Amino acid sequence: MSWIKLAFDNFLNDSKSSDGRLVILTQITLILFLATLSLTSASVQQYLDGNLNNMLGADVSVSGPRPLSNSDDQLLSQKASGIARIQLLPLAISLRGKTIPVQLKVIGDRYPLQGSLKIGTAENRSIQKTIEHGPPSGEIWLGPRASSKIGANIGDRIAIGEDMFRFSAIIYHEPDRLMEGHSVSMRAMINSNSLAIEDFKSSKMRYRYLLTATPDQQADVENWAAETLSDFTLLTKAGGGHPLALFWQRTENFLGLASVILFFLAAIAIDMANRRYLERQKQRLAVYLSFGQTLASCLRLSLLQWLFGFLLSFVIAVSLSYIAQYFLIGQLIDQFPGITSGWHLAIIAKTTGLIFLLLLAFQIPMLWQLSRTSLVGLIRAVEYPSAQLLRIFWGFASISLLAAYYSDNFLLTGLTLGALGAALLLMAILSWIILTAGEFWGRRYPGLLSFNFFIMKQRMLSKSSQILGLGLCSLLLLFTLMLMKDIGDTMKGYTRANDGNLMVAELQEKDKPALENWSRKNQSEIRQLRPYAAAKLSEINGQPIDAAISTPSETLATVKKSIRLHWSNTIPSNNKLVGGKWWSEKESNWNQISAEEEVMTDLGLNYGDQLTFVIGGKATIFELVASHAFKPGRGSVTFWFQIPERAMDVIKPDVFYMGSIELPEAAWSELGSLWRNYPSLSLVPLKELTQRFDDLLAIVTKLVVGYAAMVLIMTALVIAASMKGFEAEDRQKNGLLMSMGVTKKACVKLALYDWLTVSLIAAIGAIAGTWLAGFLIYQSQFSMIYEPDPIWLVSTMLAIGVTVCGIGVIYSRNSLSTSINNLLHD
């Protein structure tokens, strides 16, 4: 107990110091961010589990890209107590010369299987009625957004191609709405007896079977579907697996990956603040050892003292995180109606354990340094260069662990950390070059500036830490502030220049001549049309995709649904070969496939892997032999997977096209007639894509501003730590200079030169790191050339540099306010 009391007393004394408070504040900020993220995520997952039970519309849902065969349909009906069959496809509806795309749900007489529909016959949402069946034959129901967009009134005749249907109700609620995931498509519903669905084809068509079943029947259906329906998705109330679960987990991973950057800054702040803490610990250990205590007991005392600091940070941060969770949940109510916050003690324990291990890793170099020194070395406070290298190693090891824990895109993570590492290496090299050159120059031209280079060269190790810390902060601020601005301008400019003003999202092969004739008639230019077939990745090396891949990612979520499979004997003009070997036209082996480089990284694929795709209900195995990447300049339509043309003669799939068209102003008024005649044609005007992007940009900007605020807080802590961490050395230097007759004004000018040199090197490294990160990430993730605004970049860097220099000079003036005797005594 005496050791515990001594450790607690030491902790209290250290926490009263400025650097002790900095360490605690840094730990609180870091724990607060990660704990709030974990609590909010746990509340969302809890909501999704409850939402699954209430909004599935059945006990079991089976959905896929094709209809079940008659035998499978009958077998499924026998295994369940009840069944409702639904078809979903994108189609265009028309009214009074206006045409809009909708997600059309074609239902049978058994729908809804569980729950009820809520409809209205007026625009007033408060006037609703509950009904136990869908629209009768000859009628169509529209969602509120669709009816408002097309300007429909109850009783209007809505056209789908040549067929007309009476608009009789507005749909406000569907019991199986959960299965639409996070889709924002406008909705419509029609009876299966009203429309010959066989006349329409779409790669986005989905078939859904809703079942009522006992727990035993559910288990029987799951086992049967796992063996028979590899290209279908099955959801049960008991089994979980909300459609938004992986979507939210990817969001959590993205935010968690952002915390790696904050942890980077926290590591620098803690390392700098720990410099004086380490000196105090050395002095204490020297005293304890001189009294006959063992080194092991002293190290345990030091570790126990740190533990008290962690516990205090934990209590404060977790208390604040529950308050932050409450406010964040309030912001999510619109997206997740009825969501509530919770305690989630197990989640907090897991997050705390992770942070504890990461922060503990920073103590290992200090304990190692204390354990390796002699009593004389402790008294003299000798610092070893190997200790600095050990701190750097453990810092990078901890950050890599956190990145691996949260990352769902290892390519993006590697590029981000690689850019940061390259920037740090550049700043370290520049520090040595500039200080060495400055010292050499100063031998010929004596003065304060020359003396500054000499002093900084003698303190190379400590000044490099300061430069790296400030440079990394500046890099992160620059990249965060410029990211959305640059990507917005680049995306808009590139898309408009290469893809025309109308995107063709899907075109049936039989409708291609009609589109070409319409384009010639209306003086429109078809920029690109690329063929593809709908395919679903079902197995990797003989394993179901869920068993082969455990890490969630956007790529995995897409391939589990459906992808566009392209064929070409030669590498497309807007692609480049990254690795492997592209097939030749003379080869007889058509079971070859090339995957996009990032897709291979996300899914963990290797050359030689066997990929099973379900195309048109039939499974086909391809061997992965090559990887490709997007090459700007020849249109943006590219594909994740590509196969030889000979494969089409064997597979014989339904063929679709996607591409883009440049329409003159006069052609827009004629577009409605094309859409009405070919309702399965999927067209998206560029201005609509731009609006979607702007809406997304507004949401992401809010996230970026919030994240930038966290980076600013951490940056302020790093700057404070960089000044406090080297305070003793600066005071000793100033005391020595003033004792030799140097004026306070000259000392302030010397401090200004010092901070200008630090800011200059940090600025060069930050700008270079920002450019490298933008070049790598934009090209890899967005397939675009990074073109930053140099004037804005330099202006921002100058503002940061002036701020840092100003704070540094003010701080230096304060350090000179005491007498020479006091400075020398320090």
Beta strands in 488-605 (DSSP E): 502-508, 525-540, 543-544, 563-567, 575-580, 592-596
In the beta sheet, which residues pair with residue 564? 534
Q: Give the percent of the chain with pLDDT over 90.
A: 15
pLDDT digit string, tens, across residues 544-593: 887 888 766 667 778 877 889 999 999 988 888 999 999 988 888 899 99
Helix (H) / strand (E) element for 131: namely strand 129-131
Answer whether residue 494 shows pLDDT above 50.
Answer: no
What does pLDDT average to over the chain?
A: 79
Helix residue ranges per DSSP H, 385-544: 385-406, 410-442, 448-458, 460-498, 512-521
Tell me which of 138 and 794 has the higher pLDDT.
138
Q: Under DSSP, is residue 678 helix (H, G, I), strand (E, B) or coil?
A: coil
> Exposure string (b/e) for 171-200, b if CB count within 10 Å is 16 or more?
beebbbebbbeeeebbbbbbbbebbebeeb
Tell me which of 323 and 260 has the higher pLDDT.
323
Answer whether residue 140 shows pLDDT above 90.
Answer: yes
User: In the predicted model, what is the mean pLDDT of residues 777-805?
Assistant: 70
Answer whether residue 623 shows pLDDT above 90.
Answer: yes
Contact in structure between 419 and 260 (CB atoms under 8 Å): no
* Residue type (1 letter), 340: T
Please, what is the Cα angle at 383 between 381 and 388, to 5 degrees?
Answer: 145
Helix residue ranges per DSSP H, 333-408: 345-372, 375-380, 385-406
Confidence of residue 247 (pLDDT cuts 50, 70, 90): low
Contact in structure between 231 and 536 (CB atoms under 8 Å): yes
Tell me which of 3 and 441 has the higher pLDDT.
441
User: In the predicted model, what is the mean pLDDT of residues 218-224?
Assistant: 87
Answer whether residue 698 shows pLDDT above 70.
Answer: no
List Cα–Cα distances, 306 to 284, 721, 815, in angstroms. 14, 18, 29
User: In the predicted model, what is the mean pLDDT of residues 151-170?
Assistant: 91
Answer whether residue 327 shows pLDDT above 90.
Answer: no
List Cα–Cα distances, 362 to 270, 345, 367, 396, in angstroms. 8, 26, 9, 10
Query: Cα-flanking dihedrals φ and ψ of residue 273, to 5°?
Result: -65, -30
pLDDT, residue 771, reads: 79
* Pairing of the two strands 187-191 and 98-107: parallel
pLDDT digit string, tens, across residues 19-35: 788 888 888 988 888 88
pLDDT, residue 182, reads: 45
Confidence of residue 61 (pLDDT cuts 50, 70, 90): confident
